[in-house]
């Protein structure tokens, strides 16, 4: 297959991600664009959230095999690093390798990367292989179906003991919501403005992980007390500040967002929910007993009244804002064992695959929002920190202790 034929084929960034991630596809010997040898000990964890494509990669570089640990960003073109504004984004400060399909154009030396960042043009290696076609990469199989064939240490344990799994998920979920409650308390103490804190946290929950920071900044730049009282005027103000003020400091992430979850739709929902109502909205929500399923449903109904917010997003606000708020203020004396479930997201799915294997039944956890929160916390506390090979994971020891997640706190903050 010659270069011309390769160039006609639709190589996408996801192809390059798969080629980097999968050791059976990735060329065994790589070099940087200046000729230094690179051995991939671990390609890193496939990052399904905002930020670099792979976290915590381990590379050995040069004849001395100097070990480098950090993140890896993938693009089609070398110039994309600069074009996507990563140079100024603190999320990308730990990137140690920029892996591309195409090398930089001749004469283009200013790519915006730090000097020590490795530049690897994967396309240069793959295009030399006559036996390979991008059509053979099953893109849908990444990253979940291509988890290592060896089960993670937690998988057989949880397969043998589903009750232990549920106990661990519950503890992890409680820990997550208690941490959120603690953070909310700190925010109240600092701002002395309960309605504003609620407004800011709710907007952040509107934005999913990708746009949470941008929505938080929007709430800061346009406080609820300055929102116009009518829905139309509030939407105009929110849209204007989002575009003219927030976008200058934080980029709105629009890639891979379904139309129903678009930023514009979220802004419309925010306008409908908060225009002229923030304190009275809080009064209505405070009246719901979140310790009970009926009370949780009533709170979600209040949030969904405008019909611009779906049931699952309302449940996300319930779990991420309302329950921690009620706990922080003592309106409930404990985090409820059951919370209406929000939609699963990529991190939940990835963690569930790691803990429970490829063929597990999502019904095990998807019906309880506390279990979903637990999966997110396990990802953060254990899977991220223990990578690679789960070798530094102490979840199993903690699972054997009476109250595993509450007692040991790898990242208590």
For ligand SF4, the binding residues (CB under 6 A) are 152-154, 354-355, 378, 382-383, 386, 390, 393, 395
Name the residue nearer to ligand SF4 (CB basis): 148 or 279: 148
Name the residue nearer to ligand SF4 (CB basis): 172 or 227: 172
Name the residue nearer to ligand SF4 (CB basis): 266 or 405: 405
Tokens of 381: 């506390």
Tokens of 141: 């199989």
Which ranges constitute the DSSP H helices of 329-403?
Answer: 346-356, 363-366, 369-378, 384-386, 395-400
Name the residue nearer to ligand SF4 (CB basis): 134 or 410: 410
| Least gap, CB of 392 to ligand SF4 (angstroms) | 8
Cα torsion 124, 126, 127, 130: sign: positive
| Least gap, CB of 106 to ligand SF4 (angstroms) | 44
| Least gap, CB of 386 to ligand SF4 (angstroms) | 4
Tokens of 296: 């949780």
Name the residue nearer to ligand SF4 (CB basis): 139 or 403: 403
| Least gap, CB of 347 to ligand SF4 (angstroms) | 12
A 10 A CB-CB count for 88 gives: 9
Q: Tokens 């396309």 — which residue?
A: 123
Name the residue nearer to ligand SF4 (CB basis): 126 or 395: 395
| Least gap, CB of 389 to ligand SF4 (angstroms) | 8
| Least gap, CB of 244 to ligand SF4 (angstroms) | 43
Looking at residue 117, the DSSP 8-state letter turns out to be S
| Least gap, CB of 351 to ligand SF4 (angstroms) | 7
| Least gap, CB of 144 to ligand SF4 (angstroms) | 13
Name the residue nearer to ligand SF4 (CB basis): 268 or 378: 378
The Cα angle at residue 133 between residues 130 and 134, in degrees rounded to 5:
145
Q: Which residues of 252-277 are buried (b: 16+ CB within 10 A; e: fewer)?
A: bbeeebeeebebebbbbbbbbbbbeb
Cβ atoms of residues 208 and 261 within 8 Å = yes
Which class for 27: exposed (0-12), middle (13-18), buried (19 or more C-beta within 10 A)?
Answer: middle
| Least gap, CB of 278 to ligand SF4 (angstroms) | 40
The whole-angstrom separation of Cα 187 and Cα 204 is 14
| Least gap, CB of 147 to ligand SF4 (angstroms) | 9
Name the residue nearer to ligand SF4 (CB basis): 306 or 344: 344
Nearest to 76, CA basis, from 101, 112, 111, 53: 101
The whole-angstrom separation of Cα 179 and Cα 412 is 8
The whole-angstrom separation of Cα 368 and Cα 359 is 20
SS3 145: coil
Distances (CA, A) of 16 to 13, 24, 73, 83, 124: 5, 13, 10, 18, 12
Name the residue nearer to ligand SF4 (CB basis): 101 or 158: 158
Q: Tokens 């070990």 — which residue?
A: 67
Name the residue nearer to ligand SF4 (CB basis): 245 or 408: 408
């Amino acid at each position: 297959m010659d270069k011309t034929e390769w160039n006609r084929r639709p190589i996408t960034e996801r192809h390059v991600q798969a080629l980097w991630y999968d050791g059976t596809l990735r060329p065994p010997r790589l070099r940087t664009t200046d000729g230094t040898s690179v051995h991939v000990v671990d390609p890193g964890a496939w990052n399904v959230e905002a930020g670099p494509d792979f976290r915590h990669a381990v590379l050995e570089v040069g004849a001395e095999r100097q070990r480098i640990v950090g993140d890896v960003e993938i693009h089609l073109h070398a110039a994309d690093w600069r074009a996507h504004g990563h140079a100024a984004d603190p999320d990308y400060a730990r990137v140690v390798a920029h892996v591309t399909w195409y090398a930089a154009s001749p004469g283009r030396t200013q790519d915006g990367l730090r000097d020590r960042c490795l530049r690897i043009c994967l396309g240069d290696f793959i295009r030399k292989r006559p036996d390979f076609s991008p059509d053979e990469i099953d893109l849908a199989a990444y990253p979940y179906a291509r988890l290592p064939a060896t089960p993670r240490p937690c998988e057989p344990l949880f397969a043998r003991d589903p009750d232990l799994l549920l106990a661990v998920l519950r503890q992890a979920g409680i820990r997550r919501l208690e941490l959120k409650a603690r953070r909310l308390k700190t925010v109240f103490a600092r701002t002395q403005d309960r309605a504003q804190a609620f407004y800011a946290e709710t907007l952040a929950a509107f934005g999913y992980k990708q746009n949470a920071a941008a929505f938080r900044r929007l709430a800061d730049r346009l406080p609820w007390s300055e929102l116009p009282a009518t829905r139309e005027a509030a939407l105009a103000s929110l849209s204007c500040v989002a575009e003219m003020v927030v976008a200058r400091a934080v980029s709105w992430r629009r890639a891979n967002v379904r139309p129903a979850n678009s930023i514009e739709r979220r802004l419309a929902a925010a306008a409908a929910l908060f225009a002229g109502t923030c304190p009275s909205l809080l009064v209505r929500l405070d009246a719901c007993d979140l310790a009970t399923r009926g009370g949780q449903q009533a709170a979600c109904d209040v949030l969904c009244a405008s019909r611009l917010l779906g049931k699952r997003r309302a449940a996300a606000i319930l779990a991420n804002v309302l329950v921690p708020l009620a706990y922080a203020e003592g309106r409930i004396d404990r985090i409820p064992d059951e919370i209406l479930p929000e939609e699963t997201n990529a991190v939940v799915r990835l963690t569930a695959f790691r803990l429970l294997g490829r063929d597990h039944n999502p019904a095990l956890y998807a019906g309880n929002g506390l279990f979903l929160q637990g999966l997110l916390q396990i990802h953060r506390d254990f899977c991220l920190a223990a990578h690679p090979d789960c070798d530094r994971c102490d979840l199993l020891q903690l699972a054997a202790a009476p109250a595993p997640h509450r007692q040991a706190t790898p990242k208590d903050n």
